[in-house]
Amino acid sequence: MINKKENMRNILIIVFFTFFNKVSAQDSSIYFFKNRYNQNTLQKIEQSRLDFKEIKILLGYMIDPKRQEVADYKRVKKSLETLFPNANQEGVLCIDWENKLYQNIRGNNITRIKSVSNKEYLKGEKEFINLIKFIKKLRPNVKVGIFEMPFRVYSNSEIIKNTNQKLDPILKHVDIIFPCIYIPFPAKVKSIQSNYDFLKINLDLAFNYGDRLKKPVIPFVWYLYYSPDNTYRKELIPKDELWEYIKYIESYKSSSNKRVSGIVWWDTPTSYSKTLIRNTFIDDYNKKDQTINDVFSYYFDL
């Protein structure tokens, strides 16, 4: 039996695919985490004319389970064998290792110098480079990138986190640039233009690396707001508003006239709950005995 919370997650990905179907003017790939959805959703994906591709993720507990700020390569090898059983298998993998090393690389204390000499930065840089090399040695046909590198910013004043080409030593080893462009505020709070500005700043940053290092850019998007203000964090984005952001991402061109090579549709494996997802409709959904068809009708105005 599939519970209502799982049904809700499956419906949301279908909704997003429909948005992308409406606005896509080119052949763009939609990367999704196949293992998170039921057969009903997967069947709809298979029947779509869009270019859906599977992506897999290597999380912190699969890299450094004891949180010692160093990769446990036996654990990484085991994780890779689970994700990609065949050593010659093709695929796409995102490294999501948001640990202290990651934060040290991100930190403001080392971003204002052109020649990085900070020991903590160099330690993190070395760990990420070695991890990428290890993965590519064991799975040479898997395309690898790092989640949210370059780092998400909310204003021009924060761009310093990514300047001076400080991420080049790491990102020259990846195959894909994976920026995170989760929308920070409801349009009714700061205007939709402020969110367009947010998208542009972060896409510009990603393509600054992507164009220079000749790497495709595939941003992570989410149907929930991810705001620096907890008042709005994890509210559901209204469907019409989400559509506008997808259109903006799809139509964006870098200074060298490059476009995104697709998007990654993020969907947390965590179950839906009123404490995690703040939205009136979600609350109503949890309170009432609604079916998957009711939810589908809500989103598509059937």
In terms of Cα–Cα distance, which of 48, 22, 17 is closest to 32? 17
Confidence band of 11 (pLDDT split at 50, 70, 90): low
Please state, in angstroms and rounded to a whole number, the distance separating the CA atoms of residues 273 and 149: 30
Classified as helix, coil or strand, 132 is: helix
Looking at the chain, list the stretches that DSSP marks H as alpha helix, in order from N- to C-terminal side.
4-23, 39-47, 73-83, 100-106, 119-138, 168-171, 187-190, 192-213, 239-251, 280-287, 292-300
Q: Write down the pLDDT at residue 16.
A: 64
- Beta-carbon contacts of 100 under 8 Å, excluding residues fewer than 6 positions away, are 69
CATH number of the domain bearing residue 45:
3.20.20.70
Q: Any bridge partners for residue 178, and if so which?
A: 147
Residue-range definition of the domain harbouring residue 11: 4-300
Q: Write down the pLDDT at residue 32.
A: 85
**Percent of the chain predicted with pLDDT > 90:** 48
Residue 58 DSSP label = E
The least confident of 135-139, 185-189, 270-274 is 270-274
Length of the chain: 302
Q: Which helix or strand (DSSP H or E) is residue 198 part of?
A: helix 192-213
Counting the structural domains of the chain, the total is: 1
Task: Look up the pTM and report it.
Answer: 0.84
What tens digit of pLDDT does each residue of 216-231 get? 999 998 877 888 888 8
What tens digit of pLDDT does each residue of 109-157 get? 444 444 456 788 888 999 999 999 999 999 999 999 999 999 998 887 7
Q: Any bridge partners for residue 263, and if so which?
A: 30
Q: Write down the pLDDT at residue 224.
A: 78
